[in-house]
Structure 1
Amino acid sequence: MTQIIPNLGEISHQYDALFVDLWGCVHNGVKALPEAVAALQTYRSGGGKVVLVTNSPRPRAGVMKQLIHFGVPDDSWDTIATSGDSARSAMYRGVVGEKVYFIGEHRDQDFFKPLDILENPVDIRQVPLEEAEGIVCAGPFDPMAEPEVMRPQFLYAKQKGLKLLCANPDIVVDRGEAREWCAGALAALYTEMGGESLYFGKPHPPIYDLARRRLSALGTPIADDRILAIGDGILTDISGAMGEDIDSLFITGGLAREETKTSQDPDVEALNLYLQKEMAAPTYAIGFLR
């Protein structure tokens, strides 16, 4: 049964590394969450390693700039693994072809920056849908618009047999008080319509492979039973951790704050009902990372 804990320090001595989600855990899409930052700083001061594992479609360098903007200090983390980096690597290996139709906002163009770590990367070109060999989706054109607006384009793409590379499997995120759609919502619609979507972020294995490589690069390899995954996404962070056989800490005051009736801490009965409904079993739960 999931154990509700008062703070990270209650269990942190059991783990040598943390895989920590960003949005909803360390920041709210607008600014850093001070208690979460302090908890990670304390954990690192005791020798623990913090890997930020995010479904952001941005490259690692882009996420680092975003963290500075939000006020997340660099002494609260050690390294970063992004869904964007994992997906970019796949794109430059040619998994959806050379000519791609891009779905995303203008700020997501960093996704197409050259990737120097690959030998002989594919020459990727952005083209109209009619000329495309595949689709790359970093998010909706308009994050406030319903995913259904893409149905006509997806019907055409499905008929052409195009694969969709999803750079962010999240369905929604909360930016401050506003809830926005993510690339995962579009990929889910495309799959529902009979198209093929390829995922590289949580809960899928590629991003965990990347996170382990980034962790190992810090020094001594750390076994999975000494890693704790932290996140507020039951279908991404917690499902992914369960799939990787990694212990997890569910932040109930994020995406599921209403379902778990979280003010400072989750309501026990509401939490149990929610976990039963989602068929999830995080090792621990807490209202907010602190």
Structure 2
Amino acid sequence: MTRIVQSLAEISAPYDALFCDLWGCLHNGVAAFPAAVAALQDFRAKGGRVVLLTNAPRPAKYVIATLDRLGVPRDAWDLVVSSGDAAQDAMFAGAVGRKLWHLGPAKDNGFFEEVPEAWQGQPGVTRVPLEEAEGIVCTGPFDELNEVPEDYRPRFLLAKTRGLPLLCANPDIVVDMGETRIYCAGALAALYEEMGGEALYFGKPHPPVYDLARRRLAALGVAEDARILAIGDGVNTDVAGAAGEGIDALFVTGGLAADQFGPDVEAPDAELLDTWLAARQQAPQFAIGHLR
């Protein structure tokens, strides 16, 4: 049974590091959550390391700029590791070809323009129209506020017919931007697979992004056998990913599934929570209304 807690400090003592999600846990796309910031600052003040592990489809540099804009202070974290980082490595390695159609908003152009140091001087990639592409890089809808996955069915039919693989830079299905729910690259990749296309994933819950986070933690001097706690509001990403990595998880119930656990977001109903998790075959060690 998942234990419901009132604060991170209540359970954090045995852990050396956190893998903390961003959207829905630390901010809502509009502003930072002060209580969550304070919880991470407290964990670091006690000697722990905080990795902000996000399915954002952009390199960490751009994620950090967003965090600064949203008011997340830099003393709340040690590292930012993004799905974009892991997916970028795969793209420059040629996982879906060298001539690529970019499906995503202009804000994600840094995925192509910010070449990692390891790939400087190596074969590059070129963005081309769909009709000329060898593969697809999907970072989200072109217009995330107004489009839905079904809008892309005709283009996906062409891509599938041509046998184009799709690199999904963000496995999330949806996120909440303030009060608005928007579709992410994961929803588009799911439709492509449903239509018979091939999709490759590099963010949570898939191993590459966790491997990258562990390597970067090790570079900070954190031991390989360090105890890690994953924090997130995505049952199919944060919770499932933690289970796959053999690490404990703190499920934030007040995020994407806030309407499932009773009227008080800060006090999720234990029976409703256990039933909901069992239906999804997940059993995180802990749950909390909002990170604090």
1:180 maps to what in 2? 182
Shift of 1:74: 0.2
Instruction: Tell me the TM-score normalised to structure 1 length.
Output: 0.98
Q: How does 1:153-164 map to 2 (within 5 A)?
A: 153-164=155-166
Give 5+ residue unaligned stretches, structure 2.
Answer: none
Identity of paired residues, percent? 59
- Are the equivalent residues in 2 in contact too, given 1:265–1:288 (CA < 8 A)? no
Q: Tell me the distance in 2 between the aligned counterparts of 1:121 and 1:239.
A: 35
- Are the equivalent residues in 1 in contact too, given 2:253–2:265 (CA < 8 A)? no
1:265 maps to what in 2? 267
2:22 maps to what in 1? 22
Aligned AA (1:16): D
Which structure 1 residue ranges, 4+ long, deviate > 3 Å from structure 2? none
Shift of 1:117: 1.3
- Are the equivalent residues in 1 in contact too, given 2:136–2:165 (CA < 8 A)? yes
Q: Tell me the distance in 1 between the aligned counterparts of 2:27 and 2:155.
A: 34
CA RMSD of aligned residues (A): 1.0
Instruction: Tell me the TM-score normalised to structure 2 length.
Output: 0.97
Shift of 1:146: 1.4
Aligned length: 289
1:136 maps to what in 2? 137
- Are the equivalent residues in 2 in contact too, given 1:18–1:227 (CA < 8 A)? yes
Q: Secondary structure at the match of 1:258?
A: helix
Of residues 274, 277, 285, the one that matches 1:275 is 277
Q: Tell me the distance in 1 between the aligned counterparts of 2:192 and 2:116.
A: 27
2:220 maps to what in 1? 218
Q: Deviations over 1:192-219 (max 9, x none)?
A: 1110000000000000001101111111
Q: Tell me the distance in 1 between the aligned counterparts of 2:166 and 2:267.
A: 39
Shift of 1:260: 2.0
- Are the equivalent residues in 2 in contact too, given 1:202–1:240 (CA < 8 A)? yes
1:252 maps to what in 2? 253
- Are the equivalent residues in 2 in contact too, given 1:4–1:286 (CA < 8 A)? yes
1:77 maps to what in 2? 77
1:89 maps to what in 2? 89
2:38 maps to what in 1? 38
Shift of 1:234: 0.2
- Are the equivalent residues in 2 in contact too, given 1:101–1:134 (CA < 8 A)? yes
Q: Tell me the distance in 2 between the aligned counterparts of 1:220 and 1:40.
A: 17
Aligned AA (2:41): Q
Give 5+ residue unaligned stretches, structure 1.
Answer: none
- Are the equivalent residues in 2 in contact too, given 1:17–1:222 (CA < 8 A)? no
